Structure 1
Amino acid sequence: MFKNIEFANPEFFWLLLLLPVALLWYYFKHKDQVASLKISSIKGFNVNSLISKMRPVLFALRLLALAAIIMALARPQTEDISTRTKTTKGIDIVMAIDVSSSMLARDLKPNRLSALKKVAGEFIEKRPNDRIGLVGYAGESYTKTPITSDKSIVLRALREITYGELEDGTAIGMGLATSVNRLKESKAISKVIILLTDGVNNSGFIEPNTAANLAIEFGIKTYTIGLGTNGNALSPIAYNPDGTFRYGMRQVEIDEKLLKEIATLTGGKYFRATNNEKLEEIYDEINKLEKTEIEEFKYYKYEEKFRPLILLAGALLLIEWALRNSIFKSFI
C-alpha cells in the first residue's frame, strides 16, 4: 500500500505517541469503567464467558481508527515527475582527424590513431545534445560524416576510420577547409572544429592560414591538438615485402607554431598530447569549455492517498459502535 509513498505532513506522526499513553490508561482504568455488584456468591454466574474476555477488542478498534486518522493527517501521496528538456544553445562540432601513416606511430598505445578513436568516441558520447561531424585528411581531405545528431552514425563512422583511405601526407589546410565547409551553413549558436594532427603541413592546395581566415569569416572556433611524444617515436618508415609497415625510430615533428596560430586567430585553444592520458584530459577540457546550455522543466503530479485511511478509520469506528450496542451491550 505504501510503496513509493511520501508524506506531505510527516510531523503528524508525533501524534502516534498518544497510542502507548492510551494503552497505559486503558490498562489501569478499564476495570473502573465496568459497573460492579457485590453479592455473597457468584455461583451460577458464567463470569468467564468468551464475550466478556473479548471486550478489549472495542478499545483496540478505537486505537486502530486513531492510528489511521493520524496517518491520514500526515497526507500520504505518490509523486509523478515528468521531465522535458530544451536545448537553448546547441553546438555543431566537426572533428578533423589526421589519418596519415605517421598516425600509426606507437608512442601512444596501441598507436596514435587507435588511441584517438577511443578518446574521441568517449567525447562524442558525452555530447548527446550536439550535432557532430567527422572529416578525415592526409594528403587530401574528405567528409566522413556530415554533422548529425545521430551519435550511432558518428560513432560507427569513427570506428571505420583507418589509414589507407587517402594518399599519404598531411594537408592541414585541406582538413580545416573541409571542416569549415561542413559548418558554414550551420544555424547553431556555436560552431566548433577540433583539428588533430601529428605532423606539419606538407600537402594540399589550400594553405592553413587561408582556411583559418575562412573559419573566422563564418564564426567558427577551432581547437587544435598536436599529437605525439616529445623526441623520437616508433613510426612506420618503410614497407615490408608482404605489404606491412616496417617500424623504426623517427623524430616527432609537429608544427606547433602553426597550430597555435590557427587556434588564436579563431578564438580557440592549442593543446599538446604526448600520451594517452594527456589526450583524454584534452578532450575532457574541450568538453568543459564548450558547454551546451540545457533548460530542464519538471512537472510534478501528486496523488493523495489519505482517503482510504479515512474510510478505514470510519469503518473501524462503525464496527466498534455496532459491537458496543449489540454483542457487548449487556457487558458495558
Structure 2
Amino acid sequence: MTPLAAIIGLSGHRLTAEEATLLRDRRPAGAILFARNVADPAQLRALTGQVRDILGADAPILVDQEGGRVARLKPPHWERFPPAAAFEHAPEAALRANAELLGGICRDAGLDVVCAPVLDLRLPGAHGVIGDRAFAEDPSTIARLGAAFVAGLQAAGTIPVIKHIPGHGRALADSHHELPRVAASAADLAADIEPFRVLAGSGAWAMTAHVLYEAWDRALPATISPAVIRDIIRGEIGFEGVLVTDDLAMGALSGASNDLAGAVLAAGCDLVLHCTGRLPDTAALLASCPPLTDRAAERMAQARAITEAFHSRRPEALRALRDGALGALAAAAPGEDPTARPA
C-alpha cells in the first residue's frame, strides 16, 4: 500500500485503539511528536516503536528539537540545548558537535527526522516568533552555521529539516496565528534566501513558510503558491529535496486542512504536515490526502541515504568540544552565558 503524502500528529503518550486503526487503514507517510507525546525515554521509545510497527521501519518520525525554547525533549530526562543564537560567534566545530549530541538523543528515542536548523534571518523589528531561534542577521553567517548544524544532525543519523523556506525572518506577524505579508523587494528577498541556496543540496528536507511575499506572489503564501515553489524554492534556490509544509492547521492558512492538502501538493510540496493530534481532524485530512508520489518517495530515500552515509557517534568528545566553546564565549561576555538562555 502506497502511503499517503502526510505527516500527522498523535494525541498522547501511546496510540489509542482508534489511532492505530486509522494508521493501518489510511497509512500516512509518517508522524510528528510534540510535548504531549513525551513523558520519559522508555515511554517515548515504546510510542515510536508502536508507530513503526504499523507504518513500517522506515516511516519517518519528526520532532521539533532546535534547542532553546523549541524543544520537545526536555530535562530532567534529556539535556537542555542552547538556542541557535548562542552559537553566532562560536566555532563551527562546536556547533556541529552540539547538533550531533542533539541528534543523538533524538535517534536514541526513535525520532529520525529533526525539524532544525532555522535558516531564517534574525532581524530587528521582526516578530519574536523567530528571535533567538535564528543564528544571526547576516545570511552568509546563517549559511555557514546552518551547514555545520545540518552536518552534525546527519552525523548523528538524523535527517535535518531546514526551515522556513524561503524565509520567515522579515515577517511582522506570527504565522501560527495569522498570515504574515512581506513587502520587501525581490532584490532584498534574493539576498535572504542565500542560506537555503547554500544548503539546497545537503540532503536535508525543507519546511515551507506560511508567509506571503508580495514580490513573488501577491495572492498566495509560499506553501500553496505554485509560483513560489516552482520559481523560487525549486528554481532560484535550487532545492530538489523533500519539501514538507509547516502545519496546515496554523492560523496563517484559511480553510480546513483537509481542503488544503490537495492544493499544497498540487503547488509542488511533497508532504503535508498536520499536527493537531485530534482524531476527527486527522481522519478528515487523511481521507482527502493523495498518495505519496514516486518522486517524493525517491527524495525521501535519497535524504535517508545521505544521512546514513554521514552517521557516526562520539558523544563524550563532542560534549567537551561544545561545552568548552560555549564556556569561552561566556567568559568573554560575563552575564551572557549562552547555555543559560531561556528554553
TM-score of the superposition, structure 2-length normalised?
0.28
Structure with larger Rg? 1
Instruction: Report which of the two has the higher share of strand.
Output: 1
TM-score of the superposition, structure 1-length normalised?
0.29
Relative contact order, CA 8 A, sep 6+: which one is greater? 1
